[in-house]
Chain A
Amino acid sequence: MTMPSIVSRESTQNKAVQIQLDQVEKKFGELTVLNKLSLEIKAGEFVAIVGKSGSGKSTLLRLIAGLETPTSGFINFDDTTIKESKQSARMMYQDSRLLPWKSVVDNVGLGLKGNWVKRAENTLDYVGLLSYKNEWPSTLSGGQQQRVALARALVHQPSLLLLDEPLSALDALTRMEMQNLIENLWLEHGFTALLVTHDVREAVKLGDRIILIEDGKINLNIKNKAKRPRELSNASQALMEKNILEQIMNGN
């Protein structure tokens, strides 16, 4: 099946951002959520961040998104500061956050200027939902809503896609479909992707690198060089999953 491309190939590549976190600390009152955390993310890399609830993984994502400011430390994007690069970062949440008062295509076009309808429609076609363009979001299933949210993020051709547990509310089958969709989009467009998840298997399936955050610190930082698409039953992948899970369980 050939998929319609959102934009021509030349403009999709090399539009990825490199991120550097230097001694980033985040406190909410007395509580230290991120503890002098340093991390380097290469342009075009797919980094999966795992950790228990309350480990600080979502806070890390929100800091990178510019939705929170670090208490101390720096976040640099290709040598530009957070505010400038925020323009080309897009975020997907656990809930789709589609505006219920806008049709599907108007949701995708949110924040676009000029003659955007064709672009929005192409992107909807890409996620396989063009025929739903005039529906209200409430009539769509959870998986379809997340597809629309994905289209809404992609239509801006982001150089950085931030995924905050976007698939955790979906059923297993839909989740696998969405994982493949995200992987294909990332392979084609080459943006930098940051996925926060509590599903270790998902992290192993998608990440070039899997980072485990515990108590605001990075306790594991593993590269995954397996070829894509990855077989979950593959022995080395299963072992990696097991090791990470063990570290989470025995960590504290």
Chain B
Amino acid sequence: MRANFSKQLVPWIVPALIIVAWQLFSMYEIVSSQLVPSPWTVLSSAYQLVVSGELFYHMQGSLARAFVGLLIGGGIGFIMGISNGLSNISFQLSDTTLQMIRNVPNLALVPLVIIWFGIDEGAKIFLVSISVMFPVYINTLHGIRNIDPGFIEMGRMYDLKGWHLFKEILLPGALPSIFVGLRYALGSMWLTLIIAETIATSRGIGYLAMTAQQFMQSDIIIITIILYALLGKLADLLARWGEKKALRWHKNYAH
């Protein structure tokens, strides 16, 4: 019991020390509190944002973009991965194109995206979609390609065709790899969202940070950074939970 408790405590020692040091630094004005506000200031500003409902409003905006982008980009990546994994013609036809697009840095697209979609939601969702599409695509393709051909032959021997073969053998066989892709995609989703939200917007965590910068509110900038960290961690936890649930059969995910 005691050992367990201290085990849970150990990972938090360093963060706690950092916060204490941070508080001391700003209390003794070693650096200007304008540049580095004290943890206490940050906390009370966060409280203000929560109470006014502002935080919730901006978070909702960001989450909606993230979710819609993940759905569109992840969906396309998944479908392309499946179809290129199963059909050689489809692979020959589209893989080279996809790989070329993949190697274009997302941010290089920003000027073009603004011309195409304006500065509306469309532009942001497009960027997020593009960024999640490729990790999902590559890992789904890899998952399908790596299924033991013995399973597929066995399935055919047992009269599994088309949708049934997909549902019973191909999809579950590729699932461990698809989850790797999903978790990877979540990472690049937040990364792209942060940048997409600095393009003229009126809502979202990125907007909050940009306006805070203009008014030198470093406490609010810090809050947005922490918020991104928390949301990223939360998304990863959700994905891991789903992974564990779906891959109970896999010895690496048991318990």
Contacts and interface: CB of A to CB of B under 8 A. Distances in A.
B172 interface: yes
B120 interface: no
Given A100-B250, A110-B168, A93 B159 contact: no
A169 B132 CA distance: 44
A111 B150 contact: no
Nearest to A66: B157
A65 B249 contact: no
Given A136-B249, A138-B249, A138-B251, A99 B157 contact: no
A205 interface: no
B160 interface: yes
Name which of A87, A90, A100, A111 has the most chain B CB atoms within 10 A of its CB. Answer: A111
Nearest to B250: A100
A93 B154 contact: yes
Interface string A165-208: 00000000000000000000000000000000000000000000
A101 B172 contact: yes
Interface string A74-112: 000000000000010111010101011110000000110
Nearest to B161: A111
Contacts of B148: 97
A235 interface: no
A31 interface: no
Contacts of B249: 100-102, 136, 138
Interface string B143-187: 000001011011111111000100011001101000000000000
A111 B159 contact: yes
A95 B154 CA distance: 11
B104 to A, nearest CB: 36
Name which of A102, A110, A138 has the most chain B CB atoms within 10 A of its CB. Answer: A110
Contacts of B151: 97, 99
A99 B168 CA distance: 9
B1 to A, nearest CB: 31
Interface string A102-137: 100000001100000000000000000000000010
A136 B160 CA distance: 21
Nearest to B172: A101
B172 A97 contact: no
A249 interface: no
B158 A111 contact: yes
A1 interface: no
A67 interface: yes
B172 A91 contact: no
A90 B159 CA distance: 10
B25 to A, nearest CB: 53
A91 B155 CA distance: 11
A67 B153 contact: yes
Given A65-B157, A67-B157, A111-B160, A97 B250 contact: no
Name which of A93, A100, A101 has the most chain B CB atoms within 10 A of its CB. Answer: A101
B157 A110 contact: no
A21 to B, nearest CB: 19
B159 to A, nearest CB: 5
A97 B150 CA distance: 7
A153 to B, nearest CB: 9
Contact of B158 (A100, A102, A110, A138): A110
Contact of B157 (A90, A100, A101, A136): A90
A12 B238 CA distance: 51
A89 B153 CA distance: 14
Nearest to B148: A97
B157 A91 contact: yes
Contacts of B153: 67
A111 B158 CA distance: 6
Contacts of B172: 99, 101-102
A102 B248 CA distance: 10
Interface string A50-72: 00000000000000010100000
Contacts of B155: 110-111
Given A87-B159, A99-B172, 9 more contacts: A67-B156, A90-B158, A97-B151, A99-B169, A101-B175, A102-B172, A110-B158, A111-B158, A111-B160
24 contacts: A67-B153, A89-B157, A90-B158, A91-B154, A93-B150, A93-B154, A97-B148, A97-B150, A99-B151, A99-B168, A99-B172, A101-B172, A101-B173, A101-B250, A102-B172, A102-B249, A110-B158, A110-B160, A110-B168, A111-B158, A111-B160, A138-B251, A152-B158, A156-B158
Interface of B: 148, 150-151, 153-160, 164, 168-169, 172-173, 175, 247-251
